[in-house]
A and B are shown apart, each in its own frame.
Chain A
Amino acid sequence: EAQVTQNPRYLITVTGKKLTVTCSQNMNHEYMSWYRQDPGLGLRQIYYSMNVEVTDKGDVPEGYKVSRKEKRNFPLILESPSPNQTSLYFCASSLGRGRDTEAFFGQGTRLTVV
């Protein structure tokens, strides 16, 4: 089954304690992205990757890091989480260029930073 898998689904952590949210896709997609969803703001892109070792900042990259060492994995790293990073996070992947290309989303990670 084609899917994007995020882990963990729920996470409560304390300010300053480094954490990683994993994302894996099994569709051999080139493009992968991370979004955060906040009330009234919709989905805002944090980082995206066009292929292995190619990443770029989205609209809200501050406080986040990513890496793309393998095509299937795109982890999101919070080196020193702060309460304003409490949010619902989604990973997405897509084939890439061309029309009729949709992005597939993971089920989300609910992060609370206290």
Chain B
Amino acid sequence: DQQVKQNSPSLSVQEGRISILNCDYTNSMFDYFLWYKKYPAEGPTFLISISSIKDKNEDGRFTVFLNKSAKHLSLHIVPSQPGDSAVYFCAAGFVDSWGKLQFGAGTQVVVTP
């Protein structure tokens, strides 16, 4: 049973607008969350993370929001650029046990001109 869910398999957004990707999790013990970006024929690359002691983390155009009570996190990309077209994976894990990361199914983002 998947503990991390990304319910939107795809998202299309216009260049310059905001992309919002959503992720839900079921295990309240997760205390660290990450977003990865994946281009075709490449491995996933780390994008941004947030620990459970925070509710927001920002890095340039990327902001991750965490709502622990709702077991929900989101990734905002502002403004969206054509190079942001990729698959985005949400992941959750434990700070003291880095071995066991759980990933969502991914959201394919397409940024159109």
Residues of A within 8 A of B (CB): 4, 31, 33, 35, 40-45, 48-50, 56, 58-59, 90, 92, 94-108
Per a CB cutoff under 8 Å, which of B32, B34, B105 touches A41? B105
The answer to whether A106 and B43 touch across the interface, beta carbons within 8 angstroms, is: yes
The answer to whether B49 and A100 touch across the interface, beta carbons within 8 angstroms, is: yes
Per a CB cutoff under 8 Å, which of A40, A98, A99, A107 touches B41? A107
Given known contacts A42-B106, A106-B43, A108-B42, A98 and B6 CB-to-CB distance under 8 angstroms: no
The answer to whether B43 and A42 touch across the interface, beta carbons within 8 angstroms, is: no
Q: Can you show 8 pairs from A to B with CB atoms below 8 A apart?
A: A4-B43, A40-B105, A42-B4, A42-B106, A43-B44, A50-B99, A98-B95, A103-B34
Which secondary structure characterizes the binding site on chain A? strand
The answer to whether B104 and A42 touch across the interface, beta carbons within 8 angstroms, is: yes
In the complex, besides A31-B99, A33-B99, A105-B45, 7 extra interface pairs with C-beta distance below 8 angstroms are: A40-B105, A42-B105, A45-B103, A56-B99, A90-B44, A99-B95, A104-B46
Residues of B within 8 A of A (CB): 2, 4, 6, 9, 32, 34, 36, 41-46, 49, 51, 89, 91, 95-106
* Residue in chain B with minimal CB distance to A98: B95
